[in-house]
Structure 1
Amino acid sequence: MTVIGVITRGKYGHRLIETIKEHSDFSIVTADLPEFVPVFIEEPDEFLDALNFNRQVFSAEIIITYSLHPDLTSAIAKLAAEAGVRSLIVPGGPSRASVPELKKISEASGMDIEVDEICCSLEPNAFNKPFTDLFGSPILEVKTKNGKIADVKVIRGAPCGSTWHMAKEIVGMDIKDAPPRAGLYIQHYPCRATRGDLGGIHESGELHKQAFIRALENEE
């Protein structure tokens, strides 16, 4: 059985744990970080030890870390590489991680490290499968009847669970209104991606809108 590690911090990561439990048969091991940490952490290894951080999380093959802190994320990446973790997925984007440092760790160890602003843009590769067979950039199958959405099956959905929420809510809607409404349902989940004019929550909505359009085009 595939073992997935999830490192949570404050409110971040818990919906992923629930989504994995509900929509897969993966085994999960978790470790927790406090919501509030110093801006700069000179000795992150000592900081983790002082927290009684659950290092059993590094027994996983694939880890998703919501550490959301450059110093902690780099320390976690080093520990993961030493433990033989195959793939480290880092939500939150480059502003929450030292990408050059993570690249060095990846090149030295062979562990795949992916830094994504939003997890619903995550694409499969040889390292992060089978997690990304089920969780990541959305893939849908849609059935229509009498001009309305009759059923939506989630083949691959956002790790936060928003895709499954949208799939339930959109049944019964007129076909022409469904794609933009799909994106809107994602944003109302509520999506915890960053707000602003570009990227973040808007990208999440657009990814699901386009996934819905493709599903309608491919309906059998």
Structure 2
Amino acid sequence: MRVGVVTRGKYGERLIETIKERSDFEVVSIDLPQFLPDFIEDPEEFVDDLDLDPEFWSSDLIITYSLHPDITPEIAVRAGKGGTQAVIIPGGMGRAGSVPELQKIADRYGIYIEVDEICCTLEECGVEAVDTFAERFGQPVIDVKVEEGKIADVHVTRGSPCGSTWHVAKEIVGRRMEDAPPRAGLLCQMYPCRAVRGGEGGIHASGDLHKYAMERALGLDTELVIADQSKPIKIRGKDLP
């Protein structure tokens, strides 16, 4: 599978590294300027002037760290025209455009669009490209081996696209079983997690997801509660199941 990543400054670089290191997916990328105007009157013209590789848009899955409400919908349009199956938009709705605008794009091109505040909420959705990617990357799923009340080994079945889950798996070894869940959440945040600070979601949700993954791996009775702002917004084209 071919994964296309739109980077902007440092954002998207860790995703590319993680995909290359932790999967056999082909990954290609294009770079947007780190500094963009707050308002872009003609996004189509602006993106045209960047002279981006046209082959990029035919990727099976495109993940865009454009982080701009004018540019992101234009990225989705070009992805749809290029034949991609799905577009994943990290960074939250405030930098993605609007749901009605993205819904029109999804309907026009028959694609799936998902807006994630944090990258570690991604799960299967019934779209082949997303499901294939989410077998390896997304909401953390781990297996844990415990010896003498301590974490002896951690296997990552599915990890956060930024790579934080593998960091947690390495650093948590040797911790007491009862300390492991909160420590897993803290280690994720210390990775460092680049999710937004403040409020109930963002970096706090990332920590909670890793804490929950550890609790489940240890067979504990647990429940995951995610703030509304951190829940994925899933937008399906009208012809998708």
Aligned counterpart, 1:184:
186
Matches within 5 A, 1:116-195: 116-127=116-127, 128-195=130-197
Cα drift, residue 124 of structure 1: 1.0
Q: 5+ unaligned residues in a row in structure 1: which ranges?
A: none
Q: Partners in 2 of 1:191 and 1:59 — Cα distance? A: 30
Q: Partners in 1 of 2:123 and 2:187 — Cα distance? A: 22
Cα drift, residue 55 of structure 1: 2.6
Cα drift, residue 54 of structure 1: 2.4
Q: Provide Cα deviations, 1:35-84, integer angstroms capped at 9, x if missing partner.
A: 10011111112111212222322121000000001111110111111111
Aligned counterpart, 2:115:
115
SS of the residue corresponding to residue 164 of structure 1 reads: helix
Aligned counterpart, 2:60:
61
Cα drift, residue 173 of structure 1: 0.4
Q: Please say if residues 123 and 131 of structure 2, whose CA atoms lie closer than 8 Å, have aligned partners that are also in contact.
A: no
Q: Please say if residues 30 and 54 of structure 1, whose CA atoms lie closer than 8 Å, have aligned partners that are also in contact.
A: no
Aligned counterpart, 2:226:
none
Aligned counterpart, 2:6:
7
Q: Which structure has the higher relative contact order (CA within 8 Å, separation 6+)? A: 2
SS of the residue corresponding to residue 70 of structure 1 reads: coil
Q: Partners in 2 of 1:133 and 1:51 — Cα distance? A: 33
- Give the alignment's Cα RMSD to 1 decimal: 1.0
Cα drift, residue 169 of structure 1: 0.1
AA at the equivalent of 2:188:
I
Q: Would you say how many aligned residue pairs link Structure 1 and Structure 2?
A: 217
Large movers: runs of 4+ above 4 Å: none
Q: TM-score, normalised by structure 1?
A: 0.96
AA at the equivalent of 1:136:
G
AA at the equivalent of 2:82:
A
Cα drift, residue 11 of structure 1: 0.7
Q: Partners in 1 of 2:15 and 2:166 — Cα distance? A: 13
Cα drift, residue 108 of structure 1: 2.2
Q: Please say if residues 31 and 55 of structure 1, whose CA atoms lie closer than 8 Å, have aligned partners that are also in contact.
A: no
Q: Which moved more, 1:141-150 or 1:36-45?
A: 36-45
Q: Provide Cα deviations, 1:102-146, integer angstroms capped at 9, x if missing partner.
A: 111112221000001001011112221211110000000000000
Q: TM-score, normalised by structure 2?
A: 0.88
Q: Does 1:19 align with 2:46?
A: no
AA at the equivalent of 1:201:
I
Q: 5+ unaligned residues in a row in structure 2: which ranges?
A: 221-241
Q: Provide Cα deviations, 1:197-217, integer angstroms capped at 9, x if missing partner.
A: 310000000001001000010
